[in-house]
Structure 1
Amino acid sequence: MSAVTSYGSPSRDDFAALLDESYGKNEAFEGTVVKGIIVAIEKDVAVIDLGLKTEGRVAMKEFTNNGRDELPGVGDEVEVYLERIENALGEAVISRDKARREESWVKLEKAFERQEKVEGIIFNQVKGGFTVDLDGAMAFLPRSQVDIRPVRDVAPLMGVPQPFQILKMDRRRGNIVVSRRTVLEESRAEQRHEIVANLEEGQVIDGTVKNITDYGAFVDLGGIDGLLHVTDIAWRRVNHPTEVLTIGQTVRVKIIKINHETHRISLGMKQLLDDPWQGIEAKYPIEMKLNGRVTNITDYGAFVELEPGIEGLIHVSEMSWTKKNVHPGKIVATSQEVEVQVLEVDAVKRRISLGLKQTLSNPWESFAERFPVGTEVEGEVKNKTEFGLFIGLDGDVDGMVHLSDLDWNRPGEQVIDDYKKGDVVKAQVLDVDVEKERISLGIKQLAGDPFVSKVGEEPGTSGDLRKNAIVTCEVIDVKEGGIDVKIVGTDLTAFVKRSELARDRNDQRADRFAVGEKVDARITLFDRKARKVSVSIKALEMAEEKEAIANYGSADSGASLGDILGAALRARTEGEKK
């Protein structure tokens, strides 16, 4: 019911109530978008009646929306944002820009929820990116979200209406972040999907080289790129794609594989040419020798081009007979012409094994022909090891002198200390194993084996050394437990224990003998294999005694035992005098 009744004139209180009611209703519209009618246009300013007993003014340029909308005229209805009902001049404070911004925020929030694209215009550059007008609402476009690839010049994109994807919105702070890149990627994905759908494996197509890397080239197939790997450019070895291709070059390629999930396409050029590996086994039989060019060198060998598209590998073990631990680059060089021999052909794995050393003479075979077993050779000590000496020989080969072949009498562990690297020594060839590439040498063999020496020329000895033979020995040392002797006429030495010095226990004393004295003894042990000899004076005396008894008869013949022993002793003394 109205504050003014139908009878009587209104009082002062009634008028105040009506005024408050009217202003209260009007104030409810503040901060909202309201409709009004343009009643006049004065100097590029539109006068708008809002129906609130007041009018407001808005600059005409606010209606242009950056040139996208037409200017309204008198009598047209427009929407404006009402900030205040009345200012100091008694006019309403209104804005068309804020009204459009409010409208845009409502539309943008709905688009953001539905993940729909929105249209905007890039109109200004700021730190880290650009400002975009989304029909009145301002948004930030990060530089990384401008395009799929970095863009150097953004000028062509400025002022052009184009779609954007909203990444983030904050109404309270008034922040909006948009992306142009997301739209392009989505569009590109759709385009790639459509192009890939029209391609198939095995298809031959023309393309343009778009980019070149170390591992291949990217070829534009009309909106989508395919990878032409360096190994699929030609049948021959291509170290870098730039040897064959240039950016912008038109090439004919074959589609090898298509991944419909990732839209990756593998291309090939060599697949359009005849495969040079067909019939390769007949073309390059085993042991065939031919010339080739070194194309690549690795730690494990060198690749040799036999013809365009056909390469073989010389493994490091097949490069030299003698250089075993040398890098292939020190034996051959890139682009060098070399003669090789075919060792193995595998058509399935597309591999050819080649040998370089097989084209040269085997130094071990040559050595065996020139220096048969028993030949004396001379060389320099190249190395000393725990098991012998390595001697450098003719033909750039080494021979080994084992510790056991250094000296007849002394242990090899002691004798090897007498040699040093660089010494020139002589040795005898003991064995040549061509297959295992080994040459066995001996130094002690040059002096002859003392166990094979003849001793028949020396006084008191006869025949070859053997067990039970009687030999003359020279005392070389007197010890408490016996004497060291050397068999005259040989290099053999032996130790005579005290118990073997005499038959009679009273004479078993080492001090009975002097260094340099010569005595007769009997060989009790002669082992050629173990290289050991033992002699005994006692054994000789007992043998002589036994022989004397046999020669002079027994006690039954009338001769006493004393007579027999005396005769034996006199015979021995006479023999020593002679």
Structure 2
Amino acid sequence: MTNEHETDVNQTNSAVEEKEQVAPAASQEEVKPDQEELKTEEVAEAKAEETVEAVAEETVEAKAEETVEAVAEETVEAKAEETVEAKAEAKAPASTEDQDDEEDLEAVEGKSFEELLEEYDQFREYRPGEIVTGTVVNIGEQDVVIDIGARVEGTVPSSEFMDEEGNCKIKEAEKIDVMVLRFNPEAQHIPLSFERARISRVWDQIEEVANTEETLKGSIIEKVKGGFIVDVGVRAFLPTSQATLKPQKDYQDLLGKKYDFSILKIQRRRGNLILSRKDLLQSEYEEKRKDLFDKLKEGAVLDGTVKNVTDYGAFIDLGGLDGLLHISDMSWGRINHPKDLVSVDDVIKVKVLRFDPEKEKVSLGLKQCAPDPWLSVSENYPPGKSVKGKVLNLTSYGAFVELEPGVEGMIHVSEMSWTKKVRNPGQILQKGDDVSVKVLDLDSDKRRVSLSLKQTEDNPWESLAERFPVGSKVKGRVRNITEFGAFVEIEDGIDGLVHVSDFKWGERTADPNEYVKKSEEVEVVILAVDTENKKVSLGMKQLALDPWLEFTKTQREGDYITAAITKVTDFGVFLQLAEHVEGLVRNNELDIPRGAKPGDHYQEGQEIQVIISRISHRERKVDLSVRRLRQDQERRAVQEYTKQNDKGGATMGDVMAEGLRHLINK
């Protein structure tokens, strides 16, 4: 019998020592149809061996228990007989020996069978592999002393009680279960193991679970070749094919998590335990799928988990079936990408929009779980109301502003500034800016709202003429120079134009670069303000006295004037009448033969006398004439001679004849 005990212990010890090698062993035991199928004879022999070993173990244990019980019963019966005899002899005078027997009898009386059995255990032998309960007597650096009620105490290596931080997990006087490793009645101590006792208990529980077809709870702690290592109290192997319902690219998300497992294969003697999740997941999936199909109706609101996010939407796991949440059904507002709204593993509420049971396709909506904001837009944003919003996007023709999630309006470039010519909205606004705008128009059917940025402020052009009256002098900065003039900013956002004809008196096509530089501050005169067309005319020559006005103050039509010729042309000659003032004598007003050219009779620098025939203040032009000068001189000579001869009584004919002679002589 002792040999049989030692065989059982050796087998148990072998299984315990191989606990760190469960993963490789389990990996080798992974189910492979071609390798797993044994020949009929080998299966029969294996079963026969297991049956014999099991019967042997049961027989040994049964015999041991029967022996202990028999010995205990015999001891009790013997003590009982001795007690009866002692009572019978109690009436007789008691000798010293009788008194001792009497004391022994009193010690036995009142004790139960279990107490007598426990006393007997102190003297019995312990077989290797037996699990007993003991009391912690002393905790040393190397060993922990355990009292198991034997003649000598047992010891367990202290390392078996240390946690990861090096702290002892037990205390003195604490009762614990330990396994007897070896037993020698003459030894000074009994080698025990706390860890092997724990593992043995765990295997007992695992076998019970396997027999009842229940599930085990365990944590996936490591990824190995072909699968995972699972901690269920002992190390077990989970094949990759049994880890999930469907193959995955990455299994890292399983590590460190606790799951329920079913037992595929158990070999306690070898320490092999192979688990599976797939069958449990399949059962759970079928159950959820059945419940889901009962709930999947258009309009139903369900909870779902975001399984995957793409450029066009997200796939939602409804618990047995995946549905598509398209990007257009995610929000009443604008989103650039589905990931801006949802992430993988998010749990969200979605509404069933369409369901095809035959194709098992489900279309889902997220925005439909909330009311459509456009239903109340007409009440919240009537034309003329000033509201606040955020700039969502900029285009070449304007900016889109979010008034509330799902409601957007547009500010056209023409409605961005009263004073600036906006060619790009980026000149005024930036994406993400908070702005105040005014509602110009609303079309609920087309879901359009027209907004204005500039109309939240007063129009500066309406009061510009009052702030800058014509003739007033102002200072401004030259913003731009062109061929036809220079633009000067007289107020923030308001520019005026100095035309090329208004830089200097007498120069109708001046070069602006000769008078101003870009960014230079200059003084100008307000010439005109056109509020309707948003134009301001400026002048620089007007800062000095106007030579035209000075000339016209002293000269009138009909006045004689002598001036030098500045230019001879085919159509006439120009005369310098004053500084920056010129006059023109056309060919028909010159004293030259018909068909003759002015250059044949006049040259530049020559001074001639002319009469002012016309002054145009609007065009600032002076027309001169030599021919009319002669005519006027004749008329004046006749008038003068007439006055003189009226006093002498001359006839009209005499006067005229004398006048002609006077002119000829002159």
**Structure 2 counterpart of 1:284, from 381, 388, 401:** 381
List aligned pairs for 1:68-147, cutoff 5 A: 68=37, 71=40
Contact 1:404 1:412 in 2 (8 A): yes
Contact 2:391 2:435 in 1 (8 A): no
Contact 1:475/1:483 (<8 A) preserved: no
Query: 603, 616, 626: which one pairs with 1:537?
Result: 626
Q: How does 1:34-433 map to 2 (within 5 A)?
A: 66-68=35-37, 71=40, 150=249, 199=296, 201-213=298-310, 215-237=312-334, 241=338, 245-257=342-354, 265-292=362-389, 294=390, 296-300=392-396, 301-325=398-422, 328=425, 331-332=428-429, 336-406=433-503, 409-412=506-509, 414=511, 417-433=514-530
> Aligned match of 2:659 in 561, 564, 572?
564
| CA-CA distance at 1:501 after TM superposition | 5.2
1-structure distance, mates of 2:358, 2:484:
66
Q: 1:148 to 1:451 in 2, by over 3 A?
A: farther
Amino acid at match of 1:487: L
Q: Counting helix residues as a fraction of each chain, which structure ranks higher?
A: 2
Q: Which structure: greater strand fraction?
A: 1
SS at the partner of 1:277? helix
Aligned-pair CA distance for 1:398 = 1.0
* TM-superposed deviation, 1:305: 4.1
1:493 paired with 2:493, answer no
Whole-angstrom distance in 1 between the partners of 2:655 and 2:625: 28
Gap change, CA 1:261 and 1:381, over 3 Å in 2: farther
Matched residue pairs, number? 392
* Structure 2 counterpart of 1:437: 534
Q: C-alpha distance in 2, partners of 1:350/1:218?
A: 29
**CA distance, structure 2, for counterparts of residue 289 and residue 201 of structure 1:** 40
Counterpart CA distance in 2 for 1:433 and 1:241 is 52
CA–CA separation in structure 1 for the residues paired with 2:362 and 2:532: 52
Distance 1:312 1:560, change over 3 A: closer
Q: 1:370 Cα shift?
A: 0.4
Other-structure match for 1:472: 561
**What is the distance in 2 between the residues matched to 1:415 and 1:244?**
58
Letter of the aligned partner of 1:296 in structure 2?
Answer: L
Structure having greater relative contact order (Cα 8 Å, sep ≥ 6): 2
CA distance, structure 2, for counterparts of residue 456 and residue 247 of structure 1: 90
Q: CA RMSD in A?
A: 5.0
Counterpart CA distance in 2 for 1:514 and 1:324 is 49
- Is 2:392–2:431's contact at 8 Å kept on the other side of the alignment? yes
SS at match of 1:205: strand
1:154-182 per-position Cα deviation (integer Å, ceiling 9, x unaligned): xxxxxx9xxxxxxxxxxxxxxxxxxxxxx
1:540 Cα deviation from its structure 2 partner: 1.0
**1:284 positional shift:** 1.3
Q: Which amino acid aligns with 1:537?
A: V
Separation (CA, whole Å) in 2 of partners of 1:432 and 1:533:
29
For residue 381 of structure 1, what is the amino acid of its counterpart? V
Instruction: Name the SS for the 1:373 alignment partner.
Output: coil
The answer (yes or no) to whether the contact 2:486–2:512 under 8 Å persists in 1 is: no
CA deviation map 1:342-370 (0-9, x unaligned)? 12222223332322222223232343330
Aligned mates of 2:593, 2:480 — CA distance in 1: 53
Distance 1:365 1:66 in 2: 96
Corresponding position of 1:523: 612
Structure 1 residues 434 and 201 mapped into 2: Cα distance closer, same or farther (>3 Å)?
Answer: farther
Counterpart in 1 of 2:167?
none
Q: Give the direction of change, closer, same or farther, for the CA distance of 1:345–1:414 in structure 2 (3 Å limit).
A: same
Q: Is this contact kept in 1: 2:547–2:578, CA < 8 A?
A: no
- Please tell me whether the aligned partners of residues 208 and 219 of structure 1 are also in contact (alpha carbons under 8 angstroms): yes
> Structure 1 residues 313-322 or 64-73, which shifts more?
64-73
Equivalent-residue separation in structure 2 for 1:492 and 1:477 (angstroms): 9
Q: What is the CA deviation profile of residues 29-79 of structure 1, one whole-angstrom value per residue up to 9, with x for unaligned ones?
A: xxxxxxxxxxxxxxxxxxxxxxxxxxxxxxxxxxx9544475489xxxxxx
User: Which of 209-218 and 508-517 deviates more?
Assistant: 508-517
Q: How does 1:454-469 map to 2 (within 5 A)?
A: 455=552, 457=554, 461=555, 463=556, 465=557, 469=558
Residues 286-322 of structure 1: CA deviation (Å, up to 9, x unaligned): 1211334x25343455544434544434444433334
Give, in whole Å, the separation in 1 of the partners of 2:361 and 2:296: 12
**Partners in 2 of 1:558 and 1:400 — Cα distance?**
65
Contact 1:470/1:520, CA 8 A, preserved across alignment: no
1:495–1:455 Cα change, 3 Å: same
1:389 CA displacement: 1.9
Identity %: 37
Deviation at 1:447, TM superposition (A): 5.6
- Closer, same or farther: CA 449–544 of 1 in aligned 2, 3 Å: same
Change (3 A) 1:484 1:239: closer
Cα shift readout 1:400-456 (whole Å, capped 9, x = no counterpart): 233454456433265665443234444333443444433233445556776666646
| Whole-Å separation in 2 of the counterparts to 1:245 and 1:411 | 69
In structure 2, stretches of 5+ residues that fail to align are: 1-32, 43-224, 226-245, 253-263, 265-284
> Structure 1 residues 368 and 525, CA, compared in 2 at 3 Å: closer, same or farther?
closer
Query: TM-score, normalising length from structure 2?
Result: 0.48
How much has 1:283 moved relative to structure 2?
A: 2.0
- Residues 339, 359 of structure 1: 8 Å contact kept: yes
Secondary structure at the aligned position of 1:281 is classed as helix
Q: CA deviation at 1:500?
A: 2.2
Task: Give the SS at the match of 2:519.
Answer: coil
Distance 1:455 1:328 in 2: 52
Q: TM-score, normalised by structure 1?
A: 0.54
Tell me, in whole angstroms, the C-alpha distance in 2 between the residues paired with 1:408 and 1:255: 81
C-alpha displacement of 1:271:
0.9
Letter matched to residue 522 of structure 1: I
Asked which structure has the greater CA Rg, the reply is: 2
**Residue matched to 2:58:** none
- Report the residue type matching 1:357 in the other structure: K
Query: Is the CA contact 1:526–1:533 (under 8 Å) kept in the aligned structure 2?
Result: yes
Q: Which ranges of structure 1 fall in alignment gaps of 5 or more residues?
A: 1-63, 74-124, 126-146, 154-159, 161-187, 573-578
Q: 1:261 to 1:442 in 2, by over 3 A?
A: farther
CA distance in 1, matches of 2:652, 2:409: 99
What is the deviation of 1:329? Answer: 5.5
Kept after mapping to 2: 8 A contact 1:522/1:536: yes
Structure 1 distance, partners of 2:651, 2:420, is: 85
Structure 1 Cα separation of the partners of residues 443 and 415 of structure 2: 17
